[in-house]
Amino acid sequence: MPITPEMLARARQHRRAESEQLLAQMYAPVFRMTRALIGRPSPAEHAVTRIMRRALAHVEKWRDDTDAQRWFLHFTTLEVRRAIDAAPVDPAQDLLLLHGPRDNIAYVAFIRALRALPVQQLEAIVLHHAAHLNDRYVAIAMDCSTAAAEAHLKAAEAILKTIAGPALPDRLAELSTAYRSLGPDAEIMPREVRAVVARDLRNRRAKKLARIAIILGLIALLAGIAWWWRTQSQ
């Protein structure tokens, strides 16, 4: 189901069903992109949850599905960069190895070389060759021009070719296959989406009740001051 104007309009009003549909549309691509780039299961899981929660806080600013897609791409990259800076990937836990042909020594060497790239070159390879985003969306995700994204991609390919040699297309094809197998499981996505939306609605109700309590408190205070003023004036 695509992100329709009707779905987005009702999600902007924080309707439960449409909010869940909106997140469900973007959950799988965000899940795979995050797991591939971060490489570590637990940090990737936490990053996906933060992205979904922040999406509901920004939904009112999106005018159409293109705005939504751009936001998800860019904010996912920001979350990924924070996680990558936090700690290196343990090869024994690298999701691109666990979901790829890890018995293939050439593939293992390729993934280790991929992880050693500067972060923007890593992003360019994964987004272009594994996620198969077009040049414009790669640039949006990386928050740079299409020319800069292309330069990062060419530089990364040149480095990886020194490792893979003429078999680079084979390694990139294996990377793409591993990327597609990163999930999410059919049972995980709806459960996680429902949990994020339910939490958001609870927080919004709590804030609304707090505002109402403050307003009623101010009304009571003003009424008390008025009553005291009248008694002092008599």
Q: What is the mean pLDDT of residues 104-131?
A: 96
Asked whether this chain's domains 1-87 and 89-180 adopt the same fold, the reply is no
Of 103, 80, 92, 98, the residue nearest 33 (C-alpha) = 80
Overall average pLDDT of the 35-46 stretch = 93
* Alpha-carbon dihedral sign for residues 100, 180, 96, 114: positive
- Distance from C-alpha of 204 to C-alpha of 121, rounded to nearest angstrom: 39
Q: How confident is the model at residue 211 (pLDDT cuts 50, 70, 90)?
A: confident
For 109, 114, 199, the CA distances from 105, given in Å and listed in that order, are 6, 14, 45
* Least confident window among 6-10, 66-70, 83-87, 123-127: 83-87
Which band of pLDDT confidence, cut at 50, 70 and 90, is reported for residue 131?
A: very high
pTM to 2 decimal places: 0.85
- φ/ψ of residue 3, rounded to 5: -80, 105
pLDDT at 128 over 80: yes
pLDDT (0 to 100) of residue 229: 82
Assess whether pLDDT exceeds 90 at residue 221: no
Residue/partner pairs of 181-185 with CB below 8 Å, 24 or more apart: 181/99, 181/100, 182/31, 182/32, 182/35, 182/36, 182/95, 182/99, 183/28, 183/31, 183/32, 183/35, 184/27, 184/28, 184/31, 184/32
Measured CA to CA, the distance from residue 180 to residue 28 in angstroms comes to 10
Q: State how far the Cα of 17 lies from the Cα of 197, in Å rounded to an integer.
A: 9
Res 34: pLDDT: 96
Query: Would you kindly state where each structural domain of the chain is located, as residue ranges?
Result: 1-87, 89-180, 206-234
Average pLDDT, the chain: 91
Say yes or no to pLDDT of 1 above 70: no
The answer, yes or no, to whether residue 176 has pLDDT greater than 90, is: yes
Residue 225's pLDDT band, with cuts at 50, 70 and 90, is confident
**Matching CATH number, 89-180, of 1.10.3470, 2.60.120, 1.10.10, 1.20.120:** 1.10.10
Task: State the pLDDT at residue 100.
Answer: 94
Q: How confident is the model at residue 223 (pLDDT cuts 50, 70, 90)?
A: confident
Averaged pLDDT for residues 108-118: 95
The domain 1-87 is classified under which CATH number: 1.10.1740, 1.10.150, 2.60.40, 3.40.50?
1.10.1740
- Mean pLDDT for 141-164 is 96
Residue in this structure with the two tokens 């109700």, named with its chain if needed:
205
Residue 142 has pLDDT above 90, yes or no: yes
Write down how long the chain is.
234
- Which range has the worst mean pLDDT, 7-11, 148-152, 175-179, 185-189? 185-189
Alpha helices in the chain (DSSP H): 5-12, 16-38, 41-58, 65-86, 95-98, 105-115, 119-125, 135-142, 146-164, 168-180, 188-233
Cβ(14)–Cβ(204) under 8 Å? Answer: yes
Average pLDDT value for residue range 152-176: 97
171 or 187, higher pLDDT: 171
Instruction: Tell me the mean pLDDT in the region 14-33.
Output: 94
